[in-house]
Structure 1
Amino acid sequence: MANSALASLTPETGKDSINIGLKADYRKSMAQDLSEILAATYRLTIKSHVYHWNVVGPIFKPIHDLTEAHYNALFADTDIIAERIRALGHLAPVNFDMTKSFAPTKSDVNQASAHDMVNDLIKDHEEAVRDARKAAGKAGDNDDVVTEDMLTARLTFHEKALWMLRAIISG
């Protein structure tokens, strides 16, 4: 991620003293991890929406329907993730200048087959699984059961999405 993108995701703490049984340094670190997961979720939401609009070919309908379900679920997830960042005592990212780089380019979409689009979504969902699993482990190690549970739900969504995407393009 570019330095400007990382800077815009740096969690900022409020002025309140928080005593919820989680150490301040852990809360700051997890807020940073969740901010990066939030940005990746937005990227995947936008990409899923763009592919939903532009997929063509004999498997158009199942991809069109699945990507619609995915971008709606992903958009709802952004609120859940941002609210957890706030509950940890940090500001959710407020600067999304880098969003212009979230969507595939017109030439990418023009040259992508339905299979290419699905494979690209698979790549992003796999990355989301790896990042959520790592953050969930960290949450568990720090007795942050709320964040761990939230991330488990995100993992469940992404792993099911991967199964469905792979099934659509299986030979």
Structure 2
Amino acid sequence: MSKKSAAINIGIPEGKREKIAEGLSHLLADSYTLYLMTHNFHWNVTGPMFNTLHLMFMGQYTEQWNALDLIAERIRALGFPAPGTYKEFVKLASVKEVEGVPKALDMIRHLVAAQEATARTARDLFPLVDEANDQPTADLLTQRLDVHEKTAWMLRSLLED
């Protein structure tokens, strides 16, 4: 990452800020890929659970869309550019795009996996954030973990008999 801002003295050394920003860039990429997957499934879901899933996916992608800005702005507050292209997101994301239009239950399975992957990406950043005494990023990560873990649970519940 290249630094393009004035000197920053917030009590976190530049090297640690850079590593946190890199981790947040991975979280942003996973979050964007999850957002796009959820919106795609909202548009294309069919079957007996159409209305339920269509509305559920809309709530999820709306929440995810709003979170993107929070993550990107934290990267900027740390003094680094936020990734913002599909090319960068593909390179940084652990969540992979789904090709074609899966059946409704497969959409749910894909979303569970993507929610869990995004949660893991957030969780992996905690040791560095804790070491840097970076409470704003820790707070952001905690909020994101809560959302991803709860959403994964709700989606998994749809797969149970």
- The TM-score, its normalising length taken from structure 1, stands at 0.85
**1:134 positional shift:** 1.1
Q: Which amino acid aligns with 2:8?
A: I
Determine the structure 1 residue equivalent to 2:86: 96
Q: CA separation in 2, counterparts of 1:170 and 1:51?
A: 20
Cα offset, 1:63, TM superposition: 1.4
Are positions 1:66 and 2:56 aligned together?
A: yes
Name which of 129, 132, 135 aligns with 2:125.
Answer: 135
What is residue 42 of structure 2 aligned with on the other side?
A: 52
* Inter-partner Cα distance in structure 2 for 1:44 and 1:148: 21
- Say which of 136, 150, 156 aligns to 1:160: 150
Gaps of 5+ in 1: 1-10
Identity of aligned residues (%): 36
Give the root-mean-square deviation of aligned CA atoms.
1.8
Unaligned segments of structure 2, at least 5 residues: none
Aligned pair count reads: 157
Q: 1:75 to 1:13 in 2, by over 3 A?
A: same
Q: Pick closer, same or farther for the CA change 1:100–1:156 going to 2, 3 Å.
A: closer
* Aligned-pair CA distance for 1:16: 1.2
Say whether the 8 Å CA contact 2:30–2:89 is kept in structure 1. no
**Deviation sequence 1:127-158 (CA, Å, 0-9, x none):** 01111011123212221011000010000110
Instruction: Measure how far apart 1:165 and its partner are.
Output: 0.5
Measure, in 2, the Cα distance between the counterparts of 1:38 and 1:134: 14
Which of 70, 79, 100 is 1:80 aligned to? Answer: 70
